[in-house]
Amino acid sequence: MAHFDNHGLSLSTASDVAAAHYRDGVALMLAAWPGAGEDLDAAIAADPDSALAHAARARLHAMHAQLVEARARIAVAQEKVTAAHSEREASHVDVLALAVNGKSQEALKAALAHADRWPRDTLILSLPIGAFGLFAFSGMVEHNQAKVDLCERHAAHFADDDWWFLTYRGWSLAENGEVARGRAMLERAIELRRQNANCAHALAHAMFEAGANHEAEALIAGWLPEYDRSGILHGHIAWHAALAALERGDADTALAIYDGTVRHSVSLGTPINIVSDAASLLWRLQAYGHAVPEGLWEDAADYARRVFPKPGHAFVDPHMALLEAATGDRAALGRRLTALDELVAKGAIGAGAIVPAIGRAALAFAEGDYAGCVHILEPMTVDFARIGGSNAQREVIEDTLLVALMRAGEVQKARALLDRRLHRRPSPRDTRWLTGLAA
């Protein structure tokens, strides 16, 4: 009996049980829902020679930042590929091997070529898209447009009720400025599969882009209790609620969410989300004029140092720099900036000079040198996107520039930046700031 995946692509296994668990495990992984590991393990137990089940398990390990386990498992997947496997399956394993082993540029090129031949291979198509996908971490400025282009190129291959494709097409559109169109797709996707954390997350982003903060808070309050705390995005989706609270000036609610759901001692998310969420939320609180309770900065910085002991990640390092600047750890920040300058000079960081520049701007801001902060960041605004992540995550950099402009007395420039931001998305906070500047 022939077996197929969730999108009709053949699977080289003789086991009904393995095929069923593989389909379920991949679906759960693409929804960021708990249980994927158990299903994939069951698929492997039913058919130890299933190269795709081993490869999917490697991908799941990588998503959870379990790199040793991911690389060991993808090596097994490569060993299991035989002449009995199709060309598509062999290519699938090869692409995931590049991604799992940190060969990001090669993985991106291979994933795009694979998707052109087999666009319905969703596990591979998922690699370039998303806030932490291969496009986002490629160092390119226009990665939001690249994600849209990829989705639009292959849209004809997916049905109108494909919850996974609707999720990522909708999110890509919303991040790239087509907010209403993207949000409509996301709302349809979550109707089709409510147990889809990637969609709830993407919908929170779409609401952020629309300035619909009350709707975002209501969405998260109604949906998050259905998502087990072991879910990879649980703490990060809560972070979106904290961000929405800050938008309306409610620092107490933002801090309560942080303390109960987001900080490292309570979150079961991945280190990259835990560190970036903590650094950006606390930095925003302080920059917006709210007090950060004693010990929170140091607690976040101690955790960040443990999980990211070495510099070299274009998205992580700016957030590490925020923590080091806020805690006054000039020595650590100085070492980071020196290392980053060397890596940039070698071409080892695709995002380039913006990465150490954000660190230097953060230090200037923390030390009250607002003109110096502006001097560093203002000429590089187009490069902010190079560090990857989402619009909502990167806005902390633009917020730093904006507050520095206001505190440096650059009123006209601050107004111009606020006007541009309000044109892109309504924001109660930006409206308050603009009103204050006009007074």
Question: Could you read off the pLDDT of 181-191 as tens digits, one per residue?
Answer: 999 999 999 99
**Domain shared by 344 and 285, yes or no:** yes
Q: For residue 323, what is the DSSP state?
A: H
- Reported as a single tens digit per residue, the pLDDT across 88-120 is 999 999 999 999 999 999 999 999 999 999 999
Conformational region of residue 54, where left means phi above 0, alpha means psi within -120 to 50, and beta covers everything else: alpha
pLDDT above 70 as % of the chain: 100
- What pLDDT is recorded for position 2? 85
**Domain shared by 85 and 132, yes or no:** no
**Domain shared by 64 and 145, yes or no:** no
116 φ/ψ angles, rounded to the nearest 5 degrees: -65, -35
**Domain shared by 37 and 112, yes or no:** yes
Contact 262, 281 (CB under 8 A): yes
**Domain shared by 185 and 316, yes or no:** no
- Reported as a single tens digit per residue, the pLDDT across 336-390 is 999 999 999 999 999 999 999 999 999 999 999 999 999 999 999 999 999 999 9
**Domain shared by 113 and 162, yes or no:** no
Q: Give dist(CA 167, CA 187) in Å, integer.
A: 9
Residue 29 belongs to what domain range? 3-118
Q: Judge whether residue 426 has pLDDT over 90.
A: no
**Domain shared by 135 and 97, yes or no:** no
- What pLDDT is recorded for position 424? 87
Question: Residue 360: inside a domain, yes or no?
Answer: yes
- What pLDDT is recorded for position 339? 97
Q: Tell me, what CATH number does 20's domain have?
A: 1.25.40.10
Question: Residue 270: inside a domain, yes or no?
Answer: no
Question: Residue 237: inside a domain, yes or no?
Answer: no
Q: Judge whether residue 4 has pLDDT over 80.
A: yes
Q: Domain boundary residue among 99, 118, 137?
A: 118
Q: Give dist(CA 365, CA 401) in Å, integer.
A: 9
pLDDT above 90 as % of the chain: 96
Q: Give dist(CA 176, CA 353) in Å, integer.
A: 24
- Reported as a single tens digit per residue, the pLDDT across 138-163 is 999 999 999 999 999 999 999 999 99
Contact 278, 264 (CB under 8 A): yes
Q: Judge whether residue 84 has pLDDT over 90.
A: no
Mean pLDDT of 123-139: 97
DSSP letters of 165-226? HHHHHHHHHHHTT-HHHHHHHHHHHHHH-SS-HHHHHHHHHHHHHHT-HHHHHHHHHHHGGG
Question: Residue 63: inside a domain, yes or no?
Answer: yes
Question: Residue 341: inside a domain, yes or no?
Answer: yes
**Side chain identity at 411, as an amino acid letter?**
V
**Domain shared by 428 and 310, yes or no:** yes
- What pLDDT is recorded for position 438? 79
Q: Judge whether residue 56 has pLDDT over 90.
A: yes
The answer for residues whose C-beta is within 8 angstroms of residue 405's C-beta and 6 or more apart is 370, 374, 378, 413, 414, 417
- What pLDDT is recorded for position 65? 95
Number of domains in the chain: 3
H or E element: which one contains 152? helix 143-154
- What pLDDT is recorded for position 136? 97
Q: Domain boundary residue among 194, 227, 260?
A: 227
- What pLDDT is recorded for position 162? 98
The answer for residues whose C-beta is within 8 angstroms of residue 87's C-beta and 6 or more apart is none
Mean pLDDT of 2-20: 95
Question: Residue 232: inside a domain, yes or no?
Answer: no
b/e string for 108-119 if b means 16 or more Cβ within 10 A?
bebbbebbeebb
Q: Where are the alpha helices (DSSP H) in 259-309?
A: 271-287, 296-307
Q: Is the dihedral of CA 265, 266, 272, 277 positive or negative?
A: negative
**Domain shared by 84 and 26, yes or no:** yes
- What pLDDT is recorded for position 316? 98
Q: For residue 326, what is the DSSP state?
A: H
H or E element: which one contains 4? strand 3-4
**Domain shared by 394 and 289, yes or no:** yes
Q: Domain boundary residue among 202, 227, 252?
A: 227
- Reported as a single tens digit per residue, the pLDDT across 244-280 is 999 999 999 999 999 999 999 999 999 999 999 999 9
pLDDT tier, 320 (very low <50, low <70, confident <90, very high otherwise): very high
Average pLDDT, the chain: 97
Contact 362, 385 (CB under 8 A): no
The answer for residues whose C-beta is within 8 angstroms of residue 12's C-beta and 6 or more apart is 50, 51, 52, 84, 85, 86, 89
Selection from 370, 305, 371 nearest residue 333 by Cα: 305
Question: Residue 255: inside a domain, yes or no?
Answer: no
**Domain shared by 149 and 90, yes or no:** no
Exposed, middle or buried, 434 (CB in 10 Å: 0-12/13-18/19+)?
A: middle
Question: Residue 407: inside a domain, yes or no?
Answer: yes
pLDDT tier, 283 (very low <50, low <70, confident <90, very high otherwise): very high
- What pLDDT is recorded for position 373? 98
Q: Tell me, what CATH number does 296's domain have?
A: 1.25.40
**Domain shared by 413 and 291, yes or no:** yes
